[in-house]
Amino acid sequence: MKGTIRTYLPEKKYGFIKGDDGKDYFFHEDEFRDKSHVIKLSEQVFVDFEQQATPKGYKAKNCSLIDPLEVLTFVTPDEFITSRSNDVRGWDVMEYGAWILHGTSRDSPDAAKRDVIDSAKRIGANALINLDYYKTKGSEAGTGSGTYYYTIHNFRGRAATIAKRNSKGNYRENELSGLNQRAEKLKKKLVEQTKASKRKRNIVWAVIVILSILSLGTAPGLIIVLLILGFIFGRSTDYDYWLERV
């Protein structure tokens, strides 16, 4: 069995190994066959060991350090992970994204966070690092003559792919790349959608302006109707605002 030392107390000469099977194994320094390995013991190093079940739990026997590069497969987290720092504790960043993602919501910070996570999943990321929360203000016409102001909750973070070495993993290192290529491809598609939306908006308003000019002398009331239709159908959507290159 292979695993990683999760905790180690040099003064007590023992610690615990997280096996690749997910179980925790107690170990003592005396179980290392090569005593030169003892001085190299530290948390996060890889070890090979024999499993033993005892009345008090699982124990590691006949331990030895191994080169991490001997473990060729990786596992990824079961759930999406976010971090406010530049790394994720317990995981290796396999690919740093060259993209900042944004999530927004008028409802709550949690809704904004879900939005940015959903956006990250669209490009195949399984983590967001340097995650940051901030608030902005929005406004719209009120029910009376005034203007209604409201809070917009925002999150932004850098997309990343994380994993860690595990002898029972399902992924090879080359299978965990491609994040930036996927983001680039999606960005181009979204930019084209934004351009198409703006062209549609311009066409709608051009038609409204022409019809309004023609209606000046014959049906001035029609202008009001045309303006209302313009505000309904003459808007554009920014489809790519949430995906920003670093």
pLDDT tens by residue, 10-54: 999 999 999 999 999 999 999 998 989 998 898 889 999 999 999
Stated pTM of the model:
0.75
Q: What is the average per-residue pLDDT within 102-131?
A: 98
pLDDT bracket for residue 92 (50, 70, 90): very high
Show Cβ contacts of residue 51 under 8 Å, excluding neighbours closer than 6 positions: 1, 19, 25, 58, 59, 60, 61
pLDDT bracket for residue 111 (50, 70, 90): very high
pLDDT value for 143: 60
Q: What is the 3-state secondary structure (H, E, C) of the chain?
A: CEEEEEEEECCCCEEEEEECCCCEEEEEHHHECCHHHHHHCCCCCEEEEEEEEECCEEEEEEEEECCHHHCCEEECCCCCEECCCCCCCCCEEEEEEEEEEEEEECCCHHHHHHHHHHHHHHCCCCEEEEEEEEEEEEEEECCCCCEEEEEEEEEEEEEEEEEEECCCCCEEHHHHCCHHHHHHHHHHHHHHHHHHHHHHHHHHHHHHHHHHHHHCCCCCHHHHHHHHHHHHHCCCCCCCCCEEEC
pLDDT tens by residue, 175-200: 999 999 999 999 999 999 999 999 98
